[in-house]
Structure 1
Amino acid sequence: MKIGFNNEKYLTMQSQHIRERIEQFDDKLYLEFGGKLFDDYHASRVLPGFAPDSKLQMLLQLKDQAEIVIAINANHLHDNKMRSDLRISYDEEVLRLIDEFTCIGLYVGSVVITRYSGQREAKQLETKLKRRKIPVYRHYSIDGYPTNTKKIISKEGFGKNDYIKTSRPLVVVTAPGPGSGKMATCLSQLYHENCHGVKAGYAKFETFPIWNLSLNHPVNIAYEAATADLNDVNMIDPFHLSAYNEITVNYNRDIEIFPVLQHMFEEIYGMSPYKSPTDMGVNMAGLCISDDEACRYASNQEIIRRYFATKTRYVNDQCSEEELKKQELLMQQARITPMDRPCVKAAYEKEKSSKTFSGAIELEDGAIVTGKTSDFMGPCAAIVMNAIKYLANIPDEEILIDVESFSPIQTLKTAYLGSVNPRLHTNEMLIALSLSARTNPNARKALEQLSALKNTQAHITSRVSNVDLSLFTSLGIQITYEAQKG
C-alpha cells in the first residue's frame, strides 16, 4: 500500500493547533475527543501512513498539560453494551482505558457517569473506581435537552450535575463508545467553570469527515460507510459558508445541534466564540495528506469492505435493508463496484474454475495468490499457505505438511470436538506447519513470511468462521467475504 499521509507532520500540526486553542480561552480547554485513541484502524486504512495510535502520540506531546475525563452512559452500563471489536463490556472498557492511559504516563483525572438515575450497574462501577482511588462524578438527564437552553443553563439543568474538579489546562473528554455524553459533559463543565469565574473553552477533535476535503472525496465517503449504522450523513456546513463564504464539510448531527450550542455559548458567555460547526473542530488531518491518489484508492477499498460487512450483517438479520441500500448508494457515489477490489475479482475467477469455495489474497508487491477448498483445508487456510509459499519462493507444487499430519487434527475435530467440518482452519494449518518446520527447512522459511501478510487484502467466496476472522485480524490481513445465512 502506497503511503499517502505524513504522520510526523500531523503530530506536530495537531498538537500545536490544540495549544493555540487553549490560549484562546483562560488557559482551560475542554476537548471532546471522538473516535478511538489507541487503535484507530479505520483512519490508518483510509489514510495510509496514519499510525493507529497517532492521536495517542499527539496527546503524549501535551501530557504535561492534559488530563483525561472518561464519560460513560449509565444506560449503556444497564444494557451491558459491548465494544464489539474487543468483545468487552463498556464498564470493562472504562477500566481498560484507565490502565492503558496510566501505563503510558497520561493522567486520568476522573470518570463521569452520565444519565445517572441510580442504575445498579452504575453503582457497581462507582465502587470499582473508588477502590482504585479514581474520582467519580454523576451527571443527570435534563428534561428538554438539548433545545430548552434556558432550563439547561440553570440550576435545574447543568446546575444539578456534579462539578468535575480538574487541575490542568487541557481536559480531554473521551468515552468507551458513541452516545456516552461527551459533548454534554463538556458543556456542563463550561457552565460550572463560568460559575467559578473561569472562562473555559470547548473544541471538538473528530478526524472524520475531513472538513477541507470535498463532500464526494472517497475519504469522506468512507466515513459515511463506516457509520452507516448511525445514519451519519456528510453535508456542506451552511453556517461556515454563510460566515466565511468557504465550502467545508461536516456531518448532520453537528450541523443540526450547532444552533443550540451557539445559543448555549451565548447564554454562558454572552457571545459565541464559534460561527460554525467547522470552527469548533481542531482537525489537521486533511492538511497532512501527501498523496491524494493513494488515499483515494485506499478509501475506495474501505468502502467496498464496509459493503461486504454490512451485506453479511443484513443476511444474518443484524441490520436493516436501508443500511445495506445506503452502502450500495455510497459505492455508486464513489463510482466503484466490488469488482474494483482486485482480490474479489480473482476469488470469483478461482471459484468459477475450481467449482468450489475459493479465495484470493493481494500481496504488497501487487501479486495475487489464490487458493481453494480441498479435503484438508478451507479457502482461508489455503490462501495463507499459498501466499507464504510464494513469498518464500517455494514452488507451488511442493508439499510442506505431510498429508498424514492432517489426520490426527481432523480426527480430534470430528470425533472428539463435535465439528462436522474436518478441514483445517488457518490456525490449525499453521500449527501443523510449525510441527513440519522442525525437520523441513522450507516449512520454516514459509512461516518466517507471516509478518509480510500485514496490510494485505483478501477475499473469500464463502462465509468465514470466527476462528479464521480472528487469525486474519492478528496477521493484519484485511479480509472481505460473501454473505451466507448461518
Structure 2
Amino acid sequence: MFKVGFDNDAYLKTQSEKIQERISKFGGKLYLEFGGKLFDDHHASRVLPGFAPDSKIRMLEKLKDKAEVIIAINAGDIEKNKVRGDLGITYDQDVLRLIDAFRGYGLYVSSVVLTRWQEQPSAVAYQKKLEGLGLKVYRHYPIAGYPSNIPLVVSDDGYGKNEFVETSRELVVVTAPGPGSGKMAVCLSQIYHENKRGVKAGYAKFETFPIWNIPLKHPVNLAYEAATADLNDVNMIDPFHLEAYGKTTINYNRDVEIFPVLNALFTRILGESPYKSPTDMGVNMAGNCIVDDAAVCEAANAEIIRRYYNTLCQVRKGNAEKDQVYKLELVMEQAHISAKDRKVAVAAVAKAEETNGPAVAIELNDGTIITGKTSSLLGASSAMLLDSLKHLAGIPDEVRLLSPMVIEPIQNLKTKQLGHKNPRLHMDEVLVALSVCALTDYNAKIALEKLPELRHCEVHSSVILSQVDVGVFRRLGVNLTSEPNYQTSKLYHG
C-alpha cells in the first residue's frame, strides 16, 4: 500500500533556498553539478514516496531567471552508442530530449559540451548535427593523468586547452544524460577559465543520494548502493567532515576518494579551497523533508528487492555481470530482507506452477493480489490487467470486458495481415480494444476509469516480458519485476 513519507512542497522550497544561499557565498556565480536524473527521477520517487519525479526540475524552474544549463556528453559514449537503460535511447538522443524538456520548463540551455574529445567520427557528425539545430557546441579534451596530475590539469595544457563555454547567468547547471559524462570536469574547467578572466566563480554538487544526514545503513542509502551496483559505489562515513566538524555524515566512496585531489585543484585554481569535506560541496536537502521514516524505509526495502530481480534479468540477457547480483544479495542482507518478501513474486511463481505457463501477479494499493495466466486470447499481463480493473470497478468475475468477438478480429489482423506469430493480445492492444468498447459498454467504461489507481502498484511476471508490455507498465506507473526466465528457448527475444 502506498504511503506518503516525503514532503515534496517543503523540498521544493528549502532546496531552492539552499542553492540561492550557495550562489551568494561565491559572489554571484555558481557552477552546479547536477547528478542523477532531473526530469524523471523515478528512483527517488520510489524510495521517497511523495517525491515527485520532476521535483528537481520544478525546483530549478523557481530559479529559471537566474539559471542556464550546460549539457555534457562523453564523445566516447556517442561513438559506442551508449544507451540509457531506463529509457532505451542512446545518450546522444537523450541530449536532444533533455534540451526539449528544459525548454518546456522555460529554462535556457546555453550549450552542449563534448567531453573527452578525440575526433571520434560519430562525435564529429554529432557536433555538426547540433550546430545545424542552432546549438552552441564546445570541445573538452582528455588530460593525461587526470585528475591526479594536478600541475598539468591546472595549466594551459590541461583545463586551459579546453574551449571556454560562454555563460551569462549566475547559476550554471551542468548536467548529462548519464554517469561518466564529465560533469565535474566541465565545472572545474570553467572555474579555471573564469578565474583567469578575473571572474570569481564557485562550485557545488547536487546529488540526491546517498542522503548525507540519515544513517549509513538506512534503507534509502542502501537502496542507492543497490541502484549503483554496476558502478561499485559504496556508502561511507565522510572522514573529512568528521575530522573538520566532529559530525557524522554520509557520502559515497568516489567523492571521498577524489576529495583530496579536488581540494588541491581548488587551492591551485582559487588560492584556497572553499570546502573542508565532500559533504560541504553538496546542497541536497532531501533528508530534511522525510516526514514518515517507516514509510520511507518500507519503500526503500521494496526498491532493493526490485533492483535484485531486475539485475537477475539483466544477467540473463547478458547485460550485467553476476558480481552485481552478489553485491545486491549483500545489500539485502544488510537491510535484513530477502526476495521472498516480495509478495507478488511469490504469487506469480505459484500461479505459473499451477497453470504450467507464464503468469503475472499484481498487488493493488488495497493489498489485494490478483494473478493472470496465459490463454489462447490473452497474454498473462493482459489477463491480469483486465481482472484488476474489474476488481477496482466492482465488476463481477464472470463479466467479460472484452468478448471473443472483439478479440478475434484483432488476432486475425495480427497474424494474417501483419505477420505476427503470437496471436495473443498485448496490453496496449487490450487497452485500445477496451477504449473502443467503452463507447457502448458501461462496464468497459467504468473499468477504464480505474486505470489511474494502478499507479504505485507492484507487479511481477514469471517470465521476462516483451518490451511492449514493459512499456505499458512503465507508463501506468507500476513497479515491475520479472523472474530471469524467457517464455521460449529461442536465442533471439525481440
Classify the TM-score, shorter chain: over 0.9
Q: Distance in 2 between matches of 1:375 and 1:127?
A: 51
Q: Report how far residue 390 of structure 1 moved.
A: 0.4
Bigger shift: residues 70-79 or 434-443: 434-443
Q: Distance in 2 between matches of 1:190 and 1:475?
A: 43
Q: Distance in 2 between matches of 1:403 and 1:134?
A: 53
1:292-320 deviations in Å (ceiling 9; x for gaps): 11111111111111111100111122211
Q: Distance in 1 between matches of 2:431 and 2:134?
A: 45
Q: Distance in 1 between matches of 2:309 and 2:370?
A: 21
Report SS of the residue matched to 1:451: helix
Q: Report how far residue 352 of structure 1 moved.
A: 4.2
Equivalent in the alignment of 2:139 = 138
Q: Distance in 1 between matches of 2:345 and 2:138?
A: 50
Equivalent in the alignment of 1:73 = 74
Q: Distance in 1 between matches of 2:73 and 2:319?
A: 25
Report SS of the residue matched to 1:459: strand
One-letter amino acid of the counterpart of residue 68, structure 1: V
One-letter amino acid of the counterpart of residue 86, structure 2: D
Q: Distance in 2 between matches of 1:138 and 1:437?
A: 55
2:462, 2:485 within 8 Å by CA — same for their partners in 1?
no
- For the structure 1 residues 97 and 357, does the alpha-carbon distance in structure 2 shift closer, same or farther, using more than 3 Å as the test? closer
The normalised TM-score by structure 2 is 0.95
Q: Distance in 1 between matches of 2:347 and 2:23?
A: 52
Q: Report how far residue 26 of structure 1 moved.
A: 2.2
Report SS of the residue matched to 1:370: strand
Equivalent in the alignment of 1:175 = 176
Equivalent residue runs for 1:447-458 within 5 Å: 447-458=448-459
1:50-91 deviations in Å (ceiling 9; x for gaps): 111100011011111111111111111121222233332222
Equivalent in the alignment of 2:59 = 58
Q: Distance in 1 between matches of 2:284 and 2:294?
A: 21
- Identity percentage over the alignment? 57
1:26, 1:198 within 8 Å by CA — same for their partners in 2?
no
Equivalent in the alignment of 1:6 = 7
Q: Report how far residue 417 of structure 1 moved.
A: 4.0
1:179-208 deviations in Å (ceiling 9; x for gaps): 111100111111111111122111100000
- For the structure 1 residues 354 and 88, does the alpha-carbon distance in structure 2 shift closer, same or farther, using more than 3 Å as the test? closer
Equivalent in the alignment of 1:267 = 268
One-letter amino acid of the counterpart of residue 295, structure 2: A
Q: Distance in 1 between matches of 2:95 and 2:355?
A: 49
Bigger shift: residues 324-333 or 83-92: 83-92
Q: Distance in 2 between matches of 1:128 and 1:406?
A: 45
- For the structure 1 residues 406 and 37, does the alpha-carbon distance in structure 2 shift closer, same or farther, using more than 3 Å as the test? same
Equivalent in the alignment of 1:345 = 346
Q: Report how far residue 161 of structure 1 moved.
A: 1.1
1:219-251 deviations in Å (ceiling 9; x for gaps): 111111111111111111111112122111111
One-letter amino acid of the counterpart of residue 219, structure 2: P
Equivalent in the alignment of 1:150 = 151
Q: Distance in 1 between matches of 2:273 and 2:328?
A: 37
1:345-404 deviations in Å (ceiling 9; x for gaps): 332333344443322211122222222222222211111111000011001121222223
Q: Distance in 2 between matches of 1:326 and 1:405?
A: 48
Equivalent residue runs for 1:1-400 within 5 Å: 1-400=2-401
One-letter amino acid of the counterpart of residue 104, structure 2: C
Which consecutive residues of structure 1, in runs of 5 or more, have no partner in the other structure?
none
One-letter amino acid of the counterpart of residue 160, structure 1: K
1:425-479 deviations in Å (ceiling 9; x for gaps): 2222223333433432112221121121111111111221111111111111211
Q: Report how far residue 30 of structure 1 moved.
A: 0.6
The normalised TM-score by structure 1 is 0.96
- For the structure 1 residues 99 and 355, does the alpha-carbon distance in structure 2 shift closer, same or farther, using more than 3 Å as the test? closer
1:46, 1:295 within 8 Å by CA — same for their partners in 2?
yes
Q: Distance in 2 between matches of 1:17 and 1:351?
A: 51
Q: Distance in 2 between matches of 1:479 and 1:443?
A: 25
Q: Distance in 2 between matches of 1:267 and 1:119?
A: 32
Bigger shift: residues 25-34 or 357-366: 357-366
2:174, 2:183 within 8 Å by CA — same for their partners in 1?
yes
Report SS of the residue matched to 1:50: coil
Report SS of the residue matched to 1:401: coil
1:134-161 deviations in Å (ceiling 9; x for gaps): 2222111111111010111111111111
Report SS of the residue matched to 1:306: helix
One-letter amino acid of the counterpart of residue 293, structure 2: D
One-letter amino acid of the counterpart of residue 477, structure 1: V
Q: Report how far residue 341 of structure 1 moved.
A: 1.8
Off by >6 Å, runs of 4+ in structure 1: none
Q: Distance in 2 between matches of 1:448 and 1:462?
A: 28
Q: Distance in 2 between matches of 1:360 and 1:95?
A: 37
Report SS of the residue matched to 2:272: coil
Aligned residues: 486
2:386, 2:401 within 8 Å by CA — same for their partners in 1?
no
2:455, 2:476 within 8 Å by CA — same for their partners in 1?
yes
One-letter amino acid of the counterpart of residue 334, structure 1: A
Q: Distance in 1 between matches of 2:129 and 2:419?
A: 40
Bigger shift: residues 102-111 or 348-357: 348-357
- For the structure 1 residues 264 and 349, does the alpha-carbon distance in structure 2 shift closer, same or farther, using more than 3 Å as the test? same
One-letter amino acid of the counterpart of residue 318, structure 1: N
- For the structure 1 residues 55 and 447, does the alpha-carbon distance in structure 2 shift closer, same or farther, using more than 3 Å as the test? same
One-letter amino acid of the counterpart of residue 176, structure 1: P
One-letter amino acid of the counterpart of residue 479, structure 1: L
Q: Distance in 1 between matches of 2:215 and 2:15?
A: 21
- For the structure 1 residues 401 and 134, does the alpha-carbon distance in structure 2 shift closer, same or farther, using more than 3 Å as the test? closer
Q: Report how far residue 116 of structure 1 moved.
A: 1.4
One-letter amino acid of the counterpart of residue 238, structure 1: P
Report SS of the residue matched to 2:102: helix
Which consecutive residues of structure 2, in runs of 5 or more, have no partner in the other structure?
487-492
1:240-284 deviations in Å (ceiling 9; x for gaps): 112122111111111111110001111112221111111110000
- For the structure 1 residues 434 and 100, does the alpha-carbon distance in structure 2 shift closer, same or farther, using more than 3 Å as the test? closer
Report SS of the residue matched to 1:49: coil
Q: Distance in 2 between matches of 1:113 and 1:436?
A: 51
One-letter amino acid of the counterpart of residue 442, structure 2: P
Q: Report how far residue 331 of structure 1 moved.
A: 1.2
Q: Distance in 1 between matches of 2:72 and 2:401?
A: 52
Q: Distance in 2 between matches of 1:366 and 1:35?
A: 31
- The two structures, once aligned, show a CA RMSD in angstroms of 1.6
One-letter amino acid of the counterpart of residue 197, structure 1: G
One-letter amino acid of the counterpart of residue 301, structure 1: A
One-letter amino acid of the counterpart of residue 333, structure 1: Q
